[in-house]
Amino acid sequence: MNRFATRELSMLVALVVIWAFFAWQEPVFLSARNLSLLSVELAVTAVLALGMLVVLLPGQIDLSAGSGVGLAGAVAAVLVFWHDVPAPVALLIATLGAVLVWSAMGALIAIERIPAFIMTLGGLLVFRGLHWLVIENQTVPVVEGGSQNVYSLLTTYYLPDVAGYALAGLAVTAIVASALGARKRRQSYGFPVDDGELTFLKLFVLAQFVFLVVIVTNGYRGVPIALVILGLVAVLVHQLVTNTPFGRYLYAIGGNEEAAAVSGVPVRNTIIGAYALMGGIVALTGFMQTAYSGASTSTVGSLMELDAVAACVIGGTSLRGGRGTVLGVLFGALIMASLLNGMTLMAVSPEAKYIARGIVLALAVWLDLRLGKGR
């Protein structure tokens, strides 16, 4: 069994153990209501983790993501609820601002050669301070009503049952078409592919999982719109990193930056583009997290960058760059979201939650180093 199969099996076993433990301690963990809430929490964590994947692939990192989440959500909330700016306009302003700021950070990292760790660590402090200034150290409630509804509905709207099943059907059809197309392209280039039976089994299991999610969430209120947003972001990032020159550049830079540059890869522009995309995803996560919290407060987004990094590493993304997949990140995010959700149900103290998250992050990095030997 190769190291990638070992990692996948380890993740599956870990998830089963985590779910079994929390179901034993708190039977409500497996209720339709809690699993629906878990899916929203997963969506918030996973969206940010997908952005972190794009940054990690070329061997960079973003420690400012959590602070950026709080700041972007705060800017939009203040514009909407203190200055009566229509929600769509406020969200667009905050998104464009985040893209510009993260593009500037990417430029400093790529052109001025400032280490990403230092650059984004500085961003963490600056964005956190700006966040507190924007909200004036107050609580800005995110409430429903009028055009403001667009903001609050990001994590409170649920699709009708029929719409959920229809969306699941479309998703499965798209997944099958994409997988078969990718398999055909690999065959045409002479690359190894799974045999037909294994391919069918994987797609069949994945289709069952998609419909199971819809069945479970329909048992509460329906498919959360946050889960739909996650699906769209996951598809976008997957297509970007697997089917575009930009994605191939990300892997090439992470594998060997000097060799990539010699081969004609636009290293600087690729890194700047990765951070620009990260800025947009940070803003989207900020809107979702703020809406889910019901208000913009000084703690929104705190340490979310660590959850995103942990989700990526648990899912097989290398901190040294050059390795990582969207599916792995989603799996890692599910493990992190399950841990936090279960500990919340058990009324675990905030201190213990931080300790658990730290241990999981350390174990994930250790696993990455162990399985990455010989790479």
Amino acid at site 369: L
Tell me the per-residue pLDDT of 115-162, one tens digit each, with 9 for 90 and over: 999 999 999 999 999 999 999 999 998 876 554 567 888 888 899 999
Q: How far apart are CA 282 and CA 134, in angstroms?
A: 17
282 in a structural domain: yes
Tell me the per-residue pLDDT of 36-54, one tens digit each, with 9 for 90 and over: 999 999 999 999 999 999 9
State the pLDDT confidence band at 70, using cuts at 50, 70 and 90: very high
The CA–CA distances, whole Å, from 114 to 66, 109, 124, 229, 309 equal: 20, 5, 15, 33, 20
12 in a structural domain: yes
Q: How far apart are CA 27 and CA 148, in angstroms?
A: 36
Tell me the per-residue pLDDT of 269-306, one tens digit each, with 9 for 90 and over: 999 999 999 999 999 999 999 999 989 999 999 889 99
77 in a structural domain: yes
State the residue range of the domain holding 51: 3-157+224-371
Higher pLDDT, 83 or 192: 83
Please tell me the predicted confidence (pLDDT) of residue 4.
55
What percent of the chain is predicted at pLDDT more than 90? Answer: 64
Please tell me the predicted confidence (pLDDT) of residue 65.
96
Mean pLDDT score across all residues of the chain: 89
Q: How far apart are CA 81 and CA 222, in angstroms?
A: 28
Tell me the per-residue pLDDT of 85-109, one tens digit each, with 9 for 90 and over: 988 999 999 999 999 999 999 999 9
Please tell me the predicted confidence (pLDDT) of residue 271.
96
Tell me the per-residue pLDDT of 210-258, one tens digit each, with 9 for 90 and over: 999 999 999 999 999 999 999 999 999 999 998 899 999 999 999 999 9
29 in a structural domain: yes
Range in 4-18, 87-101, 280-294, 337-351 the model is least confident about: 4-18
* Stretch 164-175: mean pLDDT: 91
Please tell me the predicted confidence (pLDDT) of residue 374.
46
Say if residue 5's pLDDT is above 60.
Answer: no
336 in a structural domain: yes
Number of domains in the chain: 1
197 in a structural domain: no
CA nearest to 61, candidates 121, 124, 116: 116
CA nearest to 289, candidates 55, 52, 48, 124: 48
Please tell me the predicted confidence (pLDDT) of residue 23.
93
State the pLDDT confidence band at 375, using cuts at 50, 70 and 90: very low
171 in a structural domain: no
15, two tokens: 């998830």
Please tell me the predicted confidence (pLDDT) of residue 3.
54
Please tell me the predicted confidence (pLDDT) of residue 56.
96
Q: How far apart are CA 119 and CA 231, in angstroms?
A: 30
Q: How far apart are CA 239 and CA 242, in angstroms?
A: 5
**Whole-prediction pTM value?**
0.93
The CA–CA distances, whole Å, from 158 to 154, 215, 226, 289 equal: 9, 13, 9, 16
Say if residue 321's pLDDT is above 50.
Answer: yes
Q: Map the chain to HEC letters.
A: CCHHHHHHHHHHHHHHHHHHHHHHHCHHHHCHHHHHHHHHHHHHHHHHHHHHHHHHCCCCCCCCHHHHHHHHHHHHHHHHHCCCCCHHHHHHHHHHHHHHHHHHHHHHHHCCCCCHHHHHHHHHHHHHHHHHHHCCCCCEECCCCHHHHHHHCCCCCECCHHHHHHHHHHHHHHHHHHHHHHHHHHHHCCCCCCCHHHHHHHHHHHHHHHHHHHHHHHCCCCCEHHHHHHHHHHHHHHHHHHHCHHHHHHHHHHHCHHHHHHCCCCHHHHHHHHHHHHHHHHHHHHHHHHHHHCEECCCCCCCHHHHHHHHHHHCCCCCCCCCCCHHHHHHHHHHHHHHHHHHHHCCCCHHHHHHHHHHHHHHHHHHHHHHCCCC
159, two tokens: 């699709």
CATH number, domain containing residue 353 = 1.10.3470
167 in a structural domain: no
